[in-house]
A and B are shown apart, each in its own frame.
Chain A
């Protein structure tokens, strides 16, 4: 199925957000996530099933004012 991660399209097999993140290189990283505009806590990622067309946001710490 196709998902959109930070606007980039990826082909992934059906599964959880945690599995998709692991496969896309985010394993062990300090990140926060949202799916379709809704925050998904780290603890909820392993039980968050993705669907075709889901829009995922992955953010990390950044400089800010």
Chain B
């Protein structure tokens, strides 16, 4: 059971809702993943448009909790205003805070992120900051009021997995009591399992499922990967060694040599 701002969840997989081939596939993928939280966003809609309303009806029918994001925001002002709109639209204090600082990698602008996190936390938001594995930034985010940290595994949509295992491991060791979520960059279930084996509380992913050849089956595979990684972490893996140790006892081995 993971806990985010007092909300306990059985599933440790948070799933994005973007880039699926169709709303029907999205619905089936969410169900197959077992996710209880899905990320959503907000975009302009014309007076004649109905896409947003249809999407919202679909999400509501799934019975999942939503985590709105500030995706695409490049300034504190944009992110804060987007968060205000999201809070009203989705009726939740939760906000996945993204302040993007660099277009090629979509790397967080950690300076703007800390500033926006402070503003929003003081206004009662429950902030899920999309950040890097930088410990100093993470400390500032906690000081700003964040009670969850979401370091990237790799750039959004890159499917590269955990680029800095040492950094992520350090973060887990440094913040034993803060829920940590690897957010972004995962490509295959083994990446999710690796994050969970480090002791992370959950993973958040989107593109790896949505752009798989079979998103529904990949959603199921990620659920298994997360479950396996968590079970392995709780089972306390053995320490790696430099030299081989025979797993089969040599005592009592038949003497068959010359």
Contacts and interface: CB of A to CB of B under 8 A. Distances in A.
Pair from one complex:
yes
Interface of A: 6, 8, 24-26, 29-34, 37-39, 41-42, 57-65
Interface of B: 16-20, 26, 39-49, 51-53, 55-56, 59, 68-69, 71, 77, 81, 84-86, 88-90, 156-157, 184, 206-207
Contacts, number: 106
21 contacts: A8-B46, A25-B48, A29-B45, A29-B53, A32-B42, A32-B84, A32-B85, A34-B81, A39-B81, A41-B88, A42-B88, A59-B42, A59-B89, A61-B42, A61-B89, A62-B43, A63-B19, A64-B18, A65-B17, A65-B69, A65-B71
A59 B46 CA distance: 9
A30 to B, nearest CB: 6
Nearest to A59: B42
A48 to B, nearest CB: 14
Contacts of B90: 61
B44 A63 contact: no
B45 A59 contact: yes
B55 A62 contact: yes
Output the residue of A37, A41, A59 with the most chain B CB within 10 A. Answer: A59
Contacts of A33: 85
A65 B59 contact: no
A2 B19 CA distance: 36
Nearest to B16: A65
Contact of B41 (A29, A34, A63): A63
A61 B81 contact: no
A64 B89 contact: no
Nearest to A8: B46
B47 A37 contact: no
